[in-house]
Amino acid sequence: MTWLARLNQTYENHAHIVGQFEKKRNDREYALIPVSHTTQSAHIEVYVDGEGNFISAKVVDKSDSSTIIPCTEASASRTSAPVPHPLFDKLVYLAGDYARYCEEAKGTPHNDYMAQLQDWCESEAVHPKVKSVYAYLRRGTLMEDLIRAQVLWTDERHKLIEKWTSAEEERLGLKPELFKVIASDQSAAFVRFAVQIPGDAEPRLWRDLSVQQAFIRYYDRKLTELELCYVTGERLPYADKHASRIRNSGDKSKLISANDTSGFTFRGRFRTSREAAAVSYEVSQKAHNALKWLIDKQSYALDGKVFLVWGTGQLEMPDPLGDGLSLGMYDEADEEEENGDSTRKQFAGQVRRALQGYRYDGDYEAHVIVMVLDAATPGRMSIVYYRDMNKELFLDRLQHWHETCSWRHRFHKDEEKRTLTFEGAPASRDIAYAAYGPRASDKVVKGLMERMLPCIVDGRKIPLDIVRSVTARASNPIGLDEWEWEKTLSIACALINKTYESEGFSVSLDVRNTDRSYLFGRMLAIADVLERRALGRDEKRATNAIRYMNAFAQRPGRTWTIIQSNLQPYQARMGTDAGYYNRLLDEVGAQLEAEHFTDRPLSGLYLLGFYSQRHDLYQSKKDRETNAAQDGKLEPEHKEEGEI
What pLDDT score does 378 carry? Answer: 82
Which of 165-169, 318-322, 387-391 bottoms out in mean pLDDT, i.e. has the lowest?
A: 165-169
Mean pLDDT of 604-621: 87
Cα–Cα distance measured from residue 262 to residue 26, given in angstroms and rounded to the nearest whole number: 44
What pLDDT score does 344 carry? Answer: 53
Give the model confidence (pLDDT) of 14-38 as tens digits: 999 998 888 876 677 888 999 999 9
What pLDDT score does 35 carry? Answer: 94
3-state secondary structure of 69: strand
In the sheet that 54-59 helps form, which strands lie side by side, from edge to edge? 54-59, 44-49, 190-196, 89-90
What pLDDT score does 361 carry? Answer: 56
What pLDDT score does 339 carry? Answer: 43
Tell me the CA distances in angstroms from 98 to 1, 91, 212, 426, one per residue in order. 45, 7, 28, 56
Contacts of residue 586, defined as CB under 8 A and 6 or more positions apart, other chains included, come to none
What pLDDT score does 640 carry? Answer: 34
What pLDDT score does 286 carry? Answer: 94
Statement: residue 225 has pLDDT above 90: no
Cα–Cα distance measured from residue 7 to residue 290, given in angstroms and rounded to the nearest whole number: 6
What pLDDT score does 540 carry? Answer: 82
What pLDDT score does 206 carry? Answer: 93
Among residues of the chain, what percentage have pLDDT more than 90?
Answer: 52
Mean pLDDT of 44-51: 95
Burial of 414 (0-12, 13-18, 19+ CB in 10 A): exposed
3-state secondary structure of 586: helix
Give the model confidence (pLDDT) of 510-563 as tens digits: 899 999 999 999 999 999 999 999 988 778 889 999 999 999 999 999 999 999
Mean pLDDT of 169-173: 79
Highest mean pLDDT: which range of 47-61, 167-181, 326-340: 47-61
What pLDDT score does 623 carry? Answer: 55
What pLDDT score does 260 carry? Answer: 64
Reported pTM: 0.83
Which of 119-128, 156-165, 345-354 bottoms out in mean pLDDT, i.e. has the lowest?
A: 345-354
Is residue 410 within 8 A of residue 486, CB to CB? The reply is yes
Give the model confidence (pLDDT) of 488-516 as tens digits: 999 999 999 999 988 878 888 889 999 99
Among residues of the chain, what percentage have pLDDT more than 70?
Answer: 88
Mean pLDDT of 262-290: 79
574-577: long-range contacts (C-beta < 8 A, 24 or more apart)? 574/530, 574/533, 574/534, 577/533
Residue 450 banded pLDDT, cuts 50, 70, 90: very high
Exposure of 326 in the CB half-sphere (CA atoms within 13 A): 16
Which helix (H) or strand (E) covers residue 196, if one does? Answer: strand 190-196
Cα–Cα distance measured from residue 330 to residue 313, given in angstroms and rounded to the nearest whole number: 27
Residue 636 banded pLDDT, cuts 50, 70, 90: very low
What pLDDT score does 432 carry? Answer: 96
Residue 346 banded pLDDT, cuts 50, 70, 90: low
Mean pLDDT of 57-74: 91
What pLDDT score does 261 carry? Answer: 62
Question: Mean pLDDT over all residues of the chain?
Answer: 86
Residue 347 banded pLDDT, cuts 50, 70, 90: low
Is residue 84 within 8 A of residue 75, CB to CB? The reply is yes
Statement: residue 181 has pLDDT above 80: yes
Residue 374 banded pLDDT, cuts 50, 70, 90: very high
Cα–Cα distance measured from residue 621 to residue 643, given in angstroms and rounded to the nearest whole number: 5
How far from each other are the two terminal CA atoms of the chain, in whole angstroms? 63
Mean pLDDT of 106-113: 91
Which amino acid is present at 327? L
Residue 416 banded pLDDT, cuts 50, 70, 90: low
Is residue 386 within 8 A of residue 315, CB to CB? The reply is no
What pLDDT score does 338 carry? Answer: 44
Q: Which of 411, 507, 494 is nearest to 456 (CA)?
A: 494
Residue 642 banded pLDDT, cuts 50, 70, 90: very low
Residue of higher predicted confidence among 195 and 643: 195
What pLDDT score does 327 carry? Answer: 74
Give the model confidence (pLDDT) of 383-394 as tens digits: 999 999 998 899
Give the model confidence (pLDDT) of 202-217 as tens digits: 999 999 999 999 999 9
Statement: residue 413 has pLDDT above 70: no
What pLDDT score does 287 carry? Answer: 93
What pLDDT score does 643 carry? Answer: 36
Burial of 83 (0-12, 13-18, 19+ CB in 10 A): buried
Cα–Cα distance measured from residue 517 to residue 557, given in angstroms and rounded to the nearest whole number: 11
